[in-house]
Structure 1
Amino acid sequence: MLSCFRQILSQPSIAIDLGTANTRVYAGQGEDFREEPSLIQHIRQDQEVQAPDDYFSYLNPQFTSSPLRGGVIVDIHSAVSLLKPLLKRTRTGLRHPVSLTCAPTDTTELERKLLTKAVREAGAAQVAIIPEVWAAAIGAGIDVTLPSAQILIDIGEGVTDMAVIRDGQLAFATATRTACSDLQKAIRSAIISRHKVCPAHAETERLTHEIAALPQGNNLPGRNIPVLGMDIIRRREVSIAVYNREILDAMAPVLAKILKMIETGLKKLPENISCEVVESGICLTGGGSCILGMDRLIGEHTGLEVRIAPDPMHSVINGAIQTLEYWKGKENWWENIAWPCIPA
């Protein structure tokens, strides 16, 4: 009985990965893990539609939005609406939980305060924030205590984050708010502009895998790719043929921004750290690492060995869970976590 009362009155701890594409919550209770798209519906499913034609039915799933852009909150009310039911379902005792959450390294103090406010309004009593790349490194199996430098690049939906981890610290970090969603937007815009057809979301995700052909340059054999979408003029679903070079040309400027950030960051490293990262190479995490050929593309531009983490999609939340387990049992552990001062 006493043990039961202690459990009810104890303060639980949870880990949150509030991402642009998906939100993941771990309640610290064994296998209590939840993952949902970071989307808010603007039309109720039971709401009647005056003109339910095929065109409207196609667009209807797109009447959603994410409260995040570029890895940070842009709509706090929607963010709270997204988080509140997730936190409510993970609550087991009488006390509100303490939350460990993550943010990109380039976030401002104001952006982190907004994240803290959203999580607290969703039901958390206290909020501690750590860099996403730090959590991703731990989740990817990197020993962050090693004295030699190691590079991790997390390519998410809204931000590409790069960090050099050395001797238990972030020795260097840089980020660009250009990532997977920008690749998909570029492809969608190019197809709409040229063919007057809006491709389905699943189709734009599939087309991003054409990145695998980029290193072949002018030797790339031309071919047509079938794409399913909605003809925005005739208002009906159609299948069109899109030339692969159209896709590559659309993606090129977005990829150039990501590669430029990586190359610029590597040039800023001190000589001793640069020598160390040549030995350790680059570890990729995030949804962008799952794009076929991304590792090879980064490897060819940096001259470094690039490997993909074992579970790249869940590296951040897995690392946050391990960090939470490390602090478990330590009283007021959240007070000991401070955002690191990262050299520019």
Structure 2
Amino acid sequence: MGLFDLFSNDIAIDLGTANTLVIHKDKIVVDEPSIIAIDRNTNKVLAIGRMAMQMHEKTHENIKTIRPLKDGVIADFSAAEEMIRGMIRMIDEKSGSRFFPKSYRMVICIPSGITEVEKRAVRDSAQHAHAKEVYMIHEPLAAAIGIGIDIEQPMGSMIVDIGGGTTEIAVIALSGIVADQSLRVAGDTFNKDILDYMRRQHNLLIGERSAEKVKIAVGSALTELDNPPEDYEIRGRDLMTGIPKIIKVTYSEIAFALDKSISKIEEAVLKALEISPPELSADIYDNGIHLTGGGALLRGLDKRLAMKTKLPIHVADDPLRAVVRGTGIAMKNLDSFKSVLMT
């Protein structure tokens, strides 16, 4: 019996600002929004993940929905703990296997720009959720492993991981991050840009969930696309009359709304390229830049980055799951990846 069989209850977690994914026994068993609904009177958890997301921005005064992570790090410690516990309980329901909550190791991915205090919050939350051993791995390294890059080689690879709370940009070689930029401009910022644009331009008040739907349906980084999506109908409240109304938005409008935030990501990519050692720059020129995370699905983003950097841009096959897959591989091969795991 191999070492991994002894610890077959090990789990890998991509604890994201927008979504949390959990791998158990080589399968993604949990893929849920990072949100929790709590009864204000009893402090009892009412719902976690998708169920809580359906309640978000629709609750009365006795129920509150909390997103425990902000900008990639834990903002509400007790809610994060409850959420991790709930997600672990889901493993039972979804994998059909009996899970022993006292005997597992956990590998969690964290942003590369995280502070020691924020790191401790992640570790403590995991331990309070009954993890026996907790390992952490930086998101860009996990994303690189997840898309099949051999990070141990003396070959430079550049990863741009655009999540919900942070954009992680890293140049990786020899199992380490040589140059990195971590900025708190990502999917949530895009939602806020859309929300603000609707209010300013159309006098329409919409919620976070509606902004997210607009981003997925017609979100774009370029005002002109080869295969444009159809216009999208958005419902909200008219700020002038207070009455609900519907308007149609085009992808070009959304590209205009997101322009400033995408420019910040472009600047950070250029900055990371600027501070990379020249030998690694040569590797990146050959290999290009790899895009992962939910933000990689934004229409035209690869083209826009290619125009800005004059480098080839590769969008990962399943960008949303690249980080959790890499975390799962690191967990399965703890000895091989000891150098990139933190305790």
Q: Same fold (TM over 0.5)?
A: yes
* Residue 318 (structure 1) aligned with residue 325 (structure 2): yes
Q: 1:192 aligns with which of 192, 199, 203?
A: 199
- The share of aligned pairs that are identical, in percent, is 29
**Structure 1 unmatched ranges of 5 or more:** 45-56
Shift of 1:30: 4.9
Contact persistence 1:139–1:316 (CA under 8 A): yes
Distance 1:252 1:276 in 2: 29
1:94, distance to aligned residue in structure 2 (A): 6.5
Distance 1:64 1:229 in 2: 20
Is 1:93 aligned with 2:91? no
* Code of the aligned partner of 1:72: V
Q: Aligned partners of 2:155 and 2:73: how far apart in 1?
A: 31
- Paired amino acid for 2:14: D
Q: Does 1:297 align with 2:304?
A: yes
Equivalent residue, structure 1, for 2:220: 211
Using the alignment, how far apart are the partners of 2:194 and 2:247 within structure 1?
A: 14
SS at match of 1:174: strand
Matches of 1:314 and 1:156, distance apart in 2: 11
Per-residue deviation, 1:300: 0.9
Aligned counterparts of 1:177 and 1:163: Cα–Cα separation in 2: 15
The structure 2 residue matched to 1:39, chosen from 35, 41, 50, is 35
Confirm whether residue 251 of structure 1 aligns to residue 254 of structure 2.
no
Describe how 1:120-199 pairs up with structure 2 within 5 A. Answer: 120-199=127-206
- What code does the residue aligned with 1:71 have? G
Report the TM-score when normalising by structure 1.
0.80
**CA apart distance, 1:111:** 0.7
The 8 Å contact of residues 11 and 96 in structure 1, kept in 2 or not, is answered as no
Q: Does the residue aligned with 2:220 lie in a helix, a strand or coil?
A: helix
> How far does the alpha carbon of each residue in 1:29-78 deviate from its partner, in whole angstroms, 9 at most, with x for none?
3546212110122468xxxxxxxxxxxx9940696331111111111111
Unaligned 5+ segments in structure 2 are: 41-54, 92-97
Shift of 1:247: 3.2
1:50 aligns to what? Answer: none
Cα distance in 2 for residues equivalent to 1:186 and 1:119: 33
Quick check: 2:36–2:79 contact (8 Å CA) kept in 1? Answer: yes
Question: 2-side partners of 1:69 and 1:309: how far apart?
Answer: 25
Measure, in 2, the Cα distance between the counterparts of 1:65 and 1:273. Answer: 42
Alignment partner for residue 58 of structure 2, among 53, 60, 75?
60
Q: Say which is worse superposed, 105-114 or 250-259, in terms of deviation.
A: 250-259
Cα deviation, residue 115, structure 1 = 0.6
- Paired residue for 1:22, among 1, 5, 19? 19
Rounded to whole Å, the distance in 1 between the matches of 2:143 and 2:21 is 14
Structure 2 counterparts to residues 2-21 of structure 1, below 5 A: 12-21=9-18
Q: What is the alpha-carbon distance in structure 2 between the residues aligned to residue 214 and residue 145 of structure 1?
A: 40
Distance in structure 2 (CA, Å) of the matches to 1:205 and 1:189: 13
Distance 1:269 1:32 in 2: 34
Aligned counterparts of 1:307 and 1:257: Cα–Cα separation in 2: 20
Q: Distance in 1 between matches of 2:22 and 2:252?
A: 40
Paired residues in the alignment total 313
Tell me by how many angstroms 1:84 deviates: 0.8
Quick check: 1:67–1:78 contact (8 Å CA) kept in 2?
A: yes
| 1:321-336 mapped onto 2 (5 Å cutoff) | 321-327=328-334
Q: Which amino acid aligns with 2:58?
A: N
Give the CA deviation at 1:97: 1.4
Q: Compared with structure 1, are the counterparts of its residues 231 and 293 closer, same or farther at alpha carbon in structure 2 (3 Å cutoff)?
A: same
The 3 A distance-change label for structure 1 pair 303 and 43 is farther
Q: Distance in 1 between matches of 2:70 and 2:319?
A: 21
The answer as to whether partners of 2:157 and 2:289 remain within 8 angstroms in 1 is yes
Query: Would the aligned equivalents of 2:266 and 2:308 in 1 still touch at CA under 8 Å?
Result: yes
Q: What's the secondary structure of 2:58's corresponding residue?
A: helix
C-alpha distance in 1, partners of 2:246/2:148? 43
Q: What letter matches 1:21 in structure 2?
A: A
Moved more, 144-153 or 114-123: 144-153
Map of 1:281 onto structure 2: 288
